[in-house]
Amino acid sequence: MAVPLFNLTPDLIVSRLCLGTMTFGEQNSLPQSFQLLDKAFHSGINFFDSAEMYPVPQRAETQGRSEEYLGRWIRTRKIPRHQVVLATKVSGPSGQMTWIRDGPASLDNWNITEAIDGSLTRLQSDYIDLYQIHWPDRYVPMFGEIEYDPTRNFSSVSIEEQLTALQKAVDAGKIRYVGLSNETPYGLMKFLHVAERISIRVRIVSLQNSYNLLCRNFDSGLAECCSHERVCLLAYSPLAMGILSGKYLSLDGGPAEARLNLFRGRYAEGESRYSLSHSSVQKATDRYVNIAKKYGIHPVSLAIAFVLRHPLVGSAVFGATKLWQLEEVLDGCKVDLIPEIVTEINRVHSAFPNPCP
pLDDT at 251: 66
Question: By three-state DSSP, how is residue 180 classified?
Answer: strand
What residue type is assigned to position 296 of the chain? G
Rounded to two decimals, the pTM is 0.97
When pLDDT is cut at 50, 70 and 90, the band that residue 315 belongs to is very high
When pLDDT is cut at 50, 70 and 90, the band that residue 268 belongs to is confident
When pLDDT is cut at 50, 70 and 90, the band that residue 260 belongs to is confident
Task: Give the residue, 260 or 74, on which the prediction is more confident.
Answer: 74
Q: Which CA distances in Å does 71 have to 43, 118, 138?
A: 19, 12, 31
**120-121-123 Cα angle (round to 5):** 65
pLDDT at 106: 96
**What is the Cα–Cα distance from 233 to 32, expressed in whole angstroms?**
29
**What is the Cα–Cα distance from 161 to 158, expressed in whole angstroms?**
5
Q: Which active-site residues does the annotation give? A: 54
128: left (phi over 0), alpha (psi -120 to 50) or beta: beta
- Asked, as a colleague might, if the bond just before 150 is cis with ω within 30 of 0, I would say no
pLDDT over threshold 90, residue 338: yes
How many Cα atoms occupy the beta-carbon half-sphere of 176 within 13 Å? 18
Average pLDDT rounded to a whole number, residues 208-221: 97
Ordered domains of the chain (ranges, CATH): 5-240+310-335 (3.20.20.100)
**What is the Cα–Cα distance from 165 to 133, expressed in whole angstroms?**
12
**What is the Cα–Cα distance from 149 to 117, expressed in whole angstroms?**
35
pLDDT tens for 104-163 read 999 999 999 999 999 999 999 999 999 999 999 999 998 888 899 999 999 899 999 999
pLDDT over threshold 80, residue 1: no
**What is the Cα–Cα distance from 349 to 10, expressed in whole angstroms?**
35
**What is the Cα–Cα distance from 1 to 43, expressed in whole angstroms?**
8
pLDDT tens for 161-198 read 999 999 999 999 999 999 999 999 999 999 999 999 98
pLDDT over threshold 80, residue 252: no
Find all residues with CB under 8 Å of 90, minimum gap 6, and list them: 52, 104, 107, 111, 112, 115, 116, 119, 131, 132, 133, 134
